[in-house]
């Protein structure tokens, strides 16, 4: 089945130690997103890629970076994780962006803990 | 400031009865509203949507109602089934930013047999 896969399901890192979360898709969608969901809060968009074009949200901290080496893979890099970065990170894909209603396909998420 | 709000963190309903999940928003410029459903250990999945020019959209047991004057939408599930037990997220988006979802905090629905 075509899908969005996130690994690992749980990730533990130390305060200030760089960490990378990964996402892959078999849907061949143009757009890949990273959403952050802190406990009991609404998921919030960090950035998205349309093909190779990176689009950062204005309020996404500089500590968060992303890479998309090819259509199938996208990575979220947190350069110096703080305690406040502990959250569920959701990767999603869609065929297009900005052309009306878009159905997003989400992975099951990576729960990041910062010790 | 949160533009999309779901003020009820949880809702419990008896099987066969109606479930009503509510959502309020602050920005009258949103073009679309969507509901996503999330089971534990899975990502959210799209459930139903409505355009801001409509006031109702129906898909099987699921109906979404939009009240633009009140900036309020609701999701009705009739009849509710135990398999509907999940977290339901309300989300809004603009036409030219389709894909950028502005989510509410979610409401956890529990349907009891």
Per-residue pLDDT at A1 exceeds 70: no
The pLDDT of residue A2 is 64
The pLDDT of residue B108 is 97
Which chain A positions have a beta carbon within 8 Å of B99's beta carbon? 31, 33, 48, 94, 96-98, 102, 104
Per-residue pLDDT at B1 exceeds 80: no
Alpha-carbon gap: B12 to the closest alpha carbon of chain A (Å): 18
Q: Are A63 and A84 in contact (CB under 8 A)?
A: no
Average pLDDT over residues B7-24: 97
The pLDDT of residue B111 is 98
pLDDT above 70 covers a percentage of chain A that reads: 98
Q: Which of A100, A109, A110 to mutate to test the interface with B (most CBs of B within 10 A)?
A: A100
| Residue A40 phi, psi (nearest 5) | 60, 15
pLDDT digits (tens, 9 = 90+) for A31-58: 999 999 999 899 999 999 999 999 999 9
Interface contact A32, partner B, CB < 8 A: no
Average pLDDT over residues A53-67: 95
Searching chain B, which residue's CA lies closest to the CA of residue A90?
A: B43
The pLDDT of residue A99 is 82
Q: Which of A1, A23, A39, A43 to mutate to test the interface with B (most CBs of B within 10 A)?
A: A43
Interface contact A27, partner B, CB < 8 A: no
Taking the alpha carbons of B92, B98, B101, B102 in that order, is the dihedral positive or negative?
negative
3 state SS of B57? strand
Q: Are B73 and B82 in contact (CB under 8 A)?
A: no
Interface contact B101, partner A, CB < 8 A: yes
Which of A9, A31, A41 faces B105 most closely, judged by CB atoms? Answer: A41
Alpha-carbon gap: A38 to the closest alpha carbon of chain B (Å): 10
The pLDDT of residue A108 is 95
Interface contact A73, partner B, CB < 8 A: no
Alpha-carbon radius of gyration of chain B:
13
Per-residue confidence band for B36, with pLDDT thresholds at 50, 70 and 90: very high
Which residues have C-beta within 8 Å of that of residue A84, sequence separation ≥ 6?
Answer: none
pLDDT digits (tens, 9 = 90+) for B37-87: 999 989 999 999 999 999 999 999 999 999 999 999 999 999 999 999 999
Which chain A positions have a beta carbon within 8 Å of B105's beta carbon? 40-42
| Residue B61 phi, psi (nearest 5) | -80, -5
Which of B98, B105, B106 faces A99 most closely, judged by CB atoms? Answer: B98
Per-residue pLDDT at B2 exceeds 90: no
Q: Are A46 and A110 in contact (CB under 8 A)?
A: no
Q: How far is Cα of residue B46 from the mean position of the Cα atoms in its chain?
A: 10
What is chain A's mean pLDDT, rounded?
A: 94
3 state SS of B97? helix
């Amino acid at each position: 089945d075509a899908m969005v896969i996130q690994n690992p399901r749980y990730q533990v890192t130390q305060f200030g130690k760089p960490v990378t979360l990964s996402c892959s898709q078999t849907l061949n969608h143009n757009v890949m997103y990273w959403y952050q969901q802190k406990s009991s809060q609404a998921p919030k968009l960090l950035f998205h890629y349309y093909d190779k074009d990176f689009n950062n949200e204005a309020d996404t901290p500089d500590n968060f970076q992303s890479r998309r080496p090819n259509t199938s893979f996208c990575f979220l890099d947190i350069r110096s994780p703080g305690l406040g970065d502990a959250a569920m990170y959701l990767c999603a894909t869609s065929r297009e962006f900005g052309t009306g209603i878009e159905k997003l396909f989400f992975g099951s998420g990576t729960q990041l803990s910062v010790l | 400031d949160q533009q999309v709000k779901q003020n009820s963190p949880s809702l419990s309903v008896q099987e066969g009865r109606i479930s009503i999940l509510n959502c309020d928003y602050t920005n009258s410029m949103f073009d679309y509203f969507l509901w996503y459903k999330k089971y534990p250990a899975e990502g959210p999945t799209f459930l139903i949507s409505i355009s801001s020019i409509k006031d109702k959209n129906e898909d099987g047991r699921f109906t979404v109602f939009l009240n633009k004057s009140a900036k309020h939408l609701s999701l009705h599930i009739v009849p509710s089934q135990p398999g509907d037990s999940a977290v339901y997220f309300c989300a809004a988006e603009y036409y030219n930013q389709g894909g950028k979802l502005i989510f509410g905090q979610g409401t956890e629905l529990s349907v009891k047999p």
